[in-house]
Amino acid sequence: MRLVLSGGGTGGHVYPALAVAQAVRRGLPSGEPFDVLYVGSGRQESDIVQRAGLEMQNVQAAPIRGKMPWEMLANSGKLALGVQQARRILREFGPSVVFSTGGYASFPVALAARSGSVPLAVYLPDLNPGWSVRAIARLAQRVCATAIESLRSLPSGKTIVTGYPVREEFWNVNRALGRERLGLSTEEKVLFVTGASSGAHSINQAIASELNGLLQLCEVVHLSGTADEQWLLEIRDGLPDELRSRYHLHGYMHEELPLAMAAADLAITRAGASTLGELPAMALPAIVVPGDFAGGHQKPNARYLAKAGAAVVLANDDLDKLLPLVGQLLNDDAKLRAMREASRRLARPNAAARIAQVLFELARGGA
């Protein structure tokens, strides 16, 4: 089987594609060849794809929606060039099927697949589809969605609810292993803070301003993103010895991310698509702080988690209330236990395998 993956440029688009590729590999008969090519824009997704050991080729891509007329004209030219490049790549690689996870970088690939009669499936990571997923869904033979709440926004008749495909590493870790690998106490409460793979500056600022108080409550594992890492390192170095050892700062995580989440009692995170799969996989209670960018697509994700009882939503403008909220939750074991169980009920361990089955059917000629 020859599989083309496309999606970008954030981890919320790339990691589901990698999880599905893992599931496809597991589902193939023993000895059957399996070749994977990731086609992206060469931006944020490239580091993640390279770490996964996959070949990657780039095409021109640019957003069109919401741009000024002169920007739209320039970006339309990039899109046309990207389609030409994608057609050449697909022709040379000869995929059995193309799997897209959205993002404007994947749109030229979807157009090329449709014009070349290559079977195409698209997955919607977020609860609400962005413009690229809406457009690709019209081209695709199959549309996969995280939750039933998405169905009203997607084409009927070819959409199935699969859940969010999480990398298999998330199912192979536990609290004890995470704490051992990351050098954390076996007894203390642990707070995991993340703004997704590239960080979130406002969350980082809020953590820095309340760091002393937080470290008196718990150990903190902080995934800051590389842009803010240096000034946070300086703050860490200025902490008293007894607090410094409780602050575990990471500019970036890949293999360590499942370990950090498994080790934690509570998370503070944005509400990107990955939270819909990774928090439930770890049964991790969370304070979610939806970003106001990209059309507000994180807010429905946050509401979904909160409605299920798995998370508490905190507005970005209310980050000054973070310390008392963390203290309240970490000191309420019954509340954390209820949130943990609610999160666990949202987990879909077979999501990647279900999407892999869709790809197998399309590759074998299924409509």
Full 3-state SS string of the chain? CEEEEECCCCHHHHHHHHHHHHHHHHHCCCCCCCEEEEEECCCCHHHHHHHCCCEEEECCCCCCCCCCHHHHHHHHHHHHHHHHHHHHHHHHHCCCEEEECCCHHHHHHHHHHHHCCCCEEEEECCCCCCHHHHHHHHHCCEEEECCHHHHHHCCCCCEEECCCCCCHHHHCCCHHHHHHHHCCCCCCCEEEEECCCCCCHHHHHHHHHCHHHHHHHCEEEEECCHHHHHHHHHHHHCCCHHHHCCEEEECCCCCHHHHHHHHCCEEEECCCCCHHHHHHHHCCCEEECCCCCHHHCHHHHHHHHHHCCCEEECCHHHHHHHHHHHHHHHCCHHHHHHHHHHHHHHCCCCHHHHHHHHHHHHHCCCC
Above 90 in pLDDT, residue 366? no
Mean pLDDT of the 133-157 span: 91
Above 60 in pLDDT, residue 67? no
pLDDT for res 333:
97
Query: pLDDT: is 309 or 62 the higher one?
Result: 309
**Residue 214 neighbours by CB under 8 Å, 6+ apart:** 191, 207, 220, 323, 326
Question: Edge to edge, what strands does the sheet with 159-161 contain?
Answer: 55-58, 35-40, 2-6, 97-100, 120-124, 142-145, 159-161
pLDDT for res 358:
98
Q: What is the pLDDT of residues 177-204, one digit of tens each?
A: 999 999 999 999 999 999 865 558 999 9
Same domain for 358 and 295, yes or no, is no
Same domain for 211 and 151, yes or no, is no
Above 80 in pLDDT, residue 69? no
Confidence of residue 65 (pLDDT cuts 50, 70, 90): low
How many structural domains comprise the chain? 2
Q: What is the pLDDT of residues 338-355, one digit of tens each?
A: 999 999 999 999 999 999
Same domain for 28 and 86, yes or no, is yes
Q: Which of 146-150, 254-258, 283-287, 296-300 has the highest mean pLDDT?
A: 283-287
What are 16's two structure tokens?
């589901």
pLDDT for res 51:
86
Confidence of residue 163 (pLDDT cuts 50, 70, 90): very high
Among residues 252, 269, 251, 244, the alpha carbon closest in space to that of 192 is found at 269
Q: Could you tell me the CATH number of the domain that includes residue 85?
A: 3.40.50.2000
Dist CA 287 CA 305 (whole Å) = 10
Same domain for 95 and 35, yes or no, is yes
**Summary mean pLDDT of the chain:** 92
* Domain span at 93: 2-164+349-363
Confidence of residue 73 (pLDDT cuts 50, 70, 90): low
pLDDT for res 141:
96
Same domain for 147 and 173, yes or no, is no
Same domain for 114 and 103, yes or no, is yes
Same domain for 298 and 357, yes or no, is no
Same domain for 174 and 323, yes or no, is yes
Q: Which amino acid is at 139?
A: L
Confidence of residue 205 (pLDDT cuts 50, 70, 90): very high
Above 60 in pLDDT, residue 321? yes
Same domain for 322 and 177, yes or no, is yes
Same domain for 83 and 159, yes or no, is yes
pLDDT for res 8:
76
Same domain for 111 and 180, yes or no, is no
Mean pLDDT of the 138-164 span: 92
Above 90 in pLDDT, residue 278? yes
Dist CA 79 CA 60 (whole Å) = 6
Same domain for 109 and 126, yes or no, is yes
Above 80 in pLDDT, residue 55? yes
